Amino acid sequence: MKEILTVKNLTLSYEGKNVLENINFDVQEGDFLVIFGENGSGKSTLIKALLNLKMPSKGKITLREGMRHCDIGYLPQAALLEQNFPASVWEVVLSGTLNKMGLKPFYTKKEKDIAKKNMELLSIYDLKRECFRNLSGGQKQRVLLARALCSANSLLLLDEPVSGLDPAATADFYEVICKINDAGTAVIMVSHDVHSSLSVAKHVLHIGAKTTIFFGTPHEYEIEQMGGR
């Protein structure tokens, strides 16, 4: 196993106040890391740091050689999107390829092929001509996931991907994400949903009170949780 992302002694702060202190974890090739944490525990700050949108005040985030921060596929919280936006599914997914286009202004066959491949992988190619705003919550997540895969396929970062989805759509989403993970893409998922995400995770990071409470496998995590009670 090779690490694709290593976080060492990471401290993040806003205006001199530490939000997170001394965080350590790593992500292996093909890994599935779930990050838990209560509201306000600094999860979103950690995401920003992983995406290089926030500078660490101490410590280091190292990516595998040759990989840049913008090579992390990102799935933002769907609730933050403008609800009435007029866009086709095709337009949304294609826009994921932009970060690899350099200065080229228009999409070529190469970008269209990447988009098509990822849409077929997530079985949404038949939604190509649908309007994004009219899709169900689960379909929207698949579209955004396809967009994320277009921008990167070695590491995905998912921010609360199942919040707002009903149980059926949630199960469906986990199935899709496991399929992608099995195909070799490493996944980092920030989640509230402790119970069902433990069943898909390969590693768990629990942050709280500014620092790491736990980092290890789901099995060890469950044991520790029981011991804690």
* Minimum distance of another protein from residue 78's CB (angstroms): 10
Q: Which CB, 78 or 178, lies closer to another protein?
A: 78
Q: Which CB, 103 or 226, lies closer to another protein?
A: 103
Residue 130, phi then psi, degrees to nearest 5:
-85, 160
* Minimum distance of another protein from residue 57's CB (angstroms): 20
**Can you list the positions of beta strands (E) in the chain?**
3-14, 17-28, 32-36, 58-63, 73-75, 155-159, 186-190, 203-208, 211-216
Transcribe 161-201 into DSSP letters.
TTTT--HHHHHHHHHHHHHHHHTT-EEEEE-S-HHHHHHH-
**CA-based R_g, the chain, Å:** 18
* Minimum distance of another protein from residue 135's CB (angstroms): 12
- The CA distance from 201 to 112, in Å, is 32
Strand order in the sheet with 58-63: 17-28, 3-14, 58-63
Place of tokens 């077929």: 120
* Minimum distance of another protein from residue 226's CB (angstroms): 37
Grouping H, G, I as helix, E, B as strand and the rest as coil, residue 62 is strand
Q: Which CB, 124 or 204, lies closer to another protein?
A: 124
* Minimum distance of another protein from residue 85's CB (angstroms): 6
Q: Which CB, 25 or 74, lies closer to another protein?
A: 74
User: Taking a C-beta distance cutoff of 8 angstroms, is the pair 141, 165 a contact?
Assistant: yes
Q: Which CB, 18 or 99, lies closer to another protein?
A: 99
* Minimum distance of another protein from residue 51's CB (angstroms): 4
Q: Which CB, 80 or 226, lies closer to another protein?
A: 80
* Residue 22 CB partners (closer than 8 Å, separation 6+): 9, 10, 11, 59, 211, 212
Q: Which CB, 84 or 199, lies closer to another protein?
A: 84
Residue 131: DSSP 8-state = B
* Minimum distance of another protein from residue 100's CB (angstroms): 9
Q: List contacts with another protein (CB under 8 A).
A: 51, 53, 68-70, 72-74, 76, 80-82, 84-88, 91-92, 94-96, 98-99, 105-107, 131, 134, 147-148, 151-152, 157
